[in-house]
Amino acid sequence: MSISHLSLVNQKLAYASAIIRLLNEQPTRQLLEHQALVDAAAFHLAMGLHFYLRELAEHYRIKNLSAINSVQDLVAALQQLNSTSSESSELLSLTEANDTWLNQLTGYYAQLSKSPQKPKEKKAFKQENLIELVELTQSDETPLLKLTPELLLSWLDSFRALVIRQRDTSAEY
């Protein structure tokens, strides 16, 4: 049996579920271990989305599946075929709307995969005999969303519900 995008989506959701279960079983883990599990769950959810987008692209007979890496890529590929889909429209609105599970998931994953910014160069001529002032409360980077097992489980449940509903809808046609 060949591995399909459908089975990859199901696999990544099962992995995320297993990791969330681990987080719930021992909530008093070491900080490093806890963060590693939280990030792993978010990673598997993001990979589930990645393969779900390709599953949709395959369903709509888009040729270059490897070019589909975001909801926007799927929408653009469908537009090139002069087509649209209710699935991609729903995913796009969930991605763009603030405070939705998909917006939070894609934002968190984008922050995780972002390279650190190069520090700003200091001026060459400092005033001698003065201590340089450094603002400690100001940060150029937006802080990562504080993920809890409950929030991750909410994302997982919402994602599963969306996939099941959209698969059922597309199977009717």
pLDDT at 126: 60
DSSP helix/strand/coil, 97: coil
Tell me the DSSP string of 112-168: HTPPPPPPPPPPS-PPTT-PPP--SS--SSPPPP---HHHHHHHHHHHHHHHHHHHH
Contact (CB, 8 A) for 5 and 52: yes
Please count the structural domains in the chain. Answer: 1
pLDDT tens sequence for the chain (173 residues): 457 999 999 999 999 999 999 998 876 778 889 999 999 999 999 999 999 999 999 999 999 999 999 999 999 999 999 998 999 999 999 999 999 999 999 999 999 888 877 776 665 556 666 766 656 554 555 567 889 999 999 999 999 999 999 999 876 55
**Structural domain boundaries enclosing 134:** 5-171
Neighbouring C-beta atoms of residue 173, cutoff 10 Å: 4
pTM (2 decimals)? 0.83
Contact (CB, 8 A) for 155 and 43: no
